[in-house]
Copies of this chain bind each other. A is one copy, B any other.
Amino acid sequence: MKDYFVGNAEYFKGIGKIKFEGSGSDNPLAFKFYDEKKIIDGKSMKEHLRFAVAYWHSFCNDGVDPFGSATHVFPWADKDHMTGAIKKADAAFEFFTKLGVPYYCFHDRDASPEGNTVLESEKNLEKITGILKDRQDETGVKLLWNTANMFSHPRYMNGVATNPDFSVLTHGAAQVKAALDSNVILGGQGYTFWGGREGYMTLFNTDMKRELDHLASFLTLSRDYGRKIGFKGTFYIEPKPMEPSKHQYDYDAGTVIAFLKANGLDKDFKCNIEANHATLAGHSFEHDLQVCVDAGMLGSVDANIGDTQNGWDTDQFPTNVYDTARAMQVILSMGGFSTGGLNFDARIRRNSTDQDDLFIAHIGGMDTFALGLEIASKIREEGKLDKMRTDRYSSYDSGLGSDFEKGKFTLEGLRDLAAKRGEPDANSGKQELYENILNQYMFGKN
């Protein structure tokens, strides 16, 4: 009996269910570190990591780049777009189940073709939504989040909610409405906004203030509609500083959180943090995660990695265990995901053209996060690094420092204390020690 889904045709022939074989395995199509049932701190790896496959990169990205045409051949492609979409859904669920991920994510246009009219696009999506629902029921795979692609169509070249032309904004609204309708049917745990065109190409022609007001209104109406039709999940904004626009309004986590708070949206919206977007904004991945956690605003994560030598979004699969260990430390510190998860917003390289490369890439990403989870969990369990950090702030835990935190001081009072106490002792930040201990956790064979 098959332990994976196959539709009318098998698209990844010769590849079966991906199994855990341990770190010594020579099989490229096996997990070396991700053992989904392994219990870490009371939960299975699968429950902790909540992996999702991204429909767009995995089943739509044909390898086109700004300098070259498609290199990836999709056996499910079909001249009739709806037929192709149905076959693609089969391929997708075959892939999800062979890989063994519990979730997936998609844009409306990934799964269902744009029609010639708003109505036709809606009908296409309705039909595909029904098929996806059936596949979900058959396989148990669930929807982590969906979203509307409001950046590819030429009509959005000047923005969607921030477009100077009101007519364009209405088309965005139509897409979000239909995508939310689809989400509720599919039981999505979240709904994401990524505003790749919500920014500017030049400030010369841009009224930022007015555009941002329109964006806030648009999100508010979307939220209201979602709640009205029964969407119980979390709305996410995914920050990115630039590309394709020169400047995107959702620059980074801090910017997005401020915008949500200023517009009364922070009860319904959280951030979906993408590693490569954080680094393009001049931050580390863990930084933007921590900013969100500190604000109670970390919703979900787009798991990928960029190239520090390349100034654009390379969206590579995460293979750096330092990154994932640090990320999982932050995620565990908030008690793990609730509605969110780790979505592989990552694409195989343009020249990764073998059929198995898509599997290999996901296996690598999952193994890398599994390693990160194990290391982070051990660090938390032993508490050594956390204690070192917490102890640094002990002067505020009692006495006058605590009084300061309680608001019992004036500036003059603080000054008097300085005058009385004199020069403070130097306290080493001990950065190198923290770094060494992390390497012990990562590479220690004990």
Contact = CB atoms under 8 A, between A and B. Distances in A.
Contacts of A157: 63, 68, 71, 350-351, 353, 426, 429
Contacts of A169: 404, 414
B68 A244 contact: yes
Contacts of A392: 164, 205, 207
3 nearest CB pairs, A to B = A311-B311, A258-B258, A173-B414
Interface stretch (A3-11, A132-140, A280-288): A280-288
A427 B392 CA distance: 49
B165 A204 contact: no
Interface stretch (A12-20, A85-93, A437-445): A437-445
A376 interface: no
A414 B205 contact: no
Given A158-B427, A443-B371, A418 B174 contact: yes
B357 A443 contact: no
B208 A154 contact: no
A306 to B, nearest CB: 10
Contact of A205 (B173, B176, B417, B429): B429
A425 to B, nearest CB: 8
B155 A423 contact: yes
A433 interface: yes
Interface in A218-266: 221-222, 224-225, 241-244, 246-247, 251, 254-255, 257-258, 261-262
A206 B430 CA distance: 11
Contacts of A241: 282
Given A205-B388, A426-B157, A428-B353, A444 B68 contact: no
A205 B246 contact: no
A380 B41 CA distance: 37
Nearest to A350: B157
Contacts of A69: 152-154
A445 B23 CA distance: 7
A15 to B, nearest CB: 14
26 contacts: A32-B436, A32-B440, A67-B244, A68-B152, A68-B156, A70-B154, A157-B429, A167-B424, A177-B412, A203-B290, A205-B389, A214-B405, A225-B410, A225-B412, A241-B282, A282-B282, A282-B309, A311-B312, A349-B429, A351-B431, A352-B430, A352-B431, A354-B428, A357-B433, A364-B432, A371-B439
Contacts of A393: 164, 207, 210
A352 B158 contact: no
Contact of A208 (B177, B294, B322): B294
A130 B65 CA distance: 32
Interface stretch (A44-52, A97-105, A184-192, A395-403): A395-403
Nearest to A392: B164
Contacts of A319: 432, 435-436, 438-439
Nearest to A71: B154
A446 B25 CA distance: 10
Given A202-B431, A309-B247, A357-B430, A418 B352 contact: no
A400 to B, nearest CB: 7
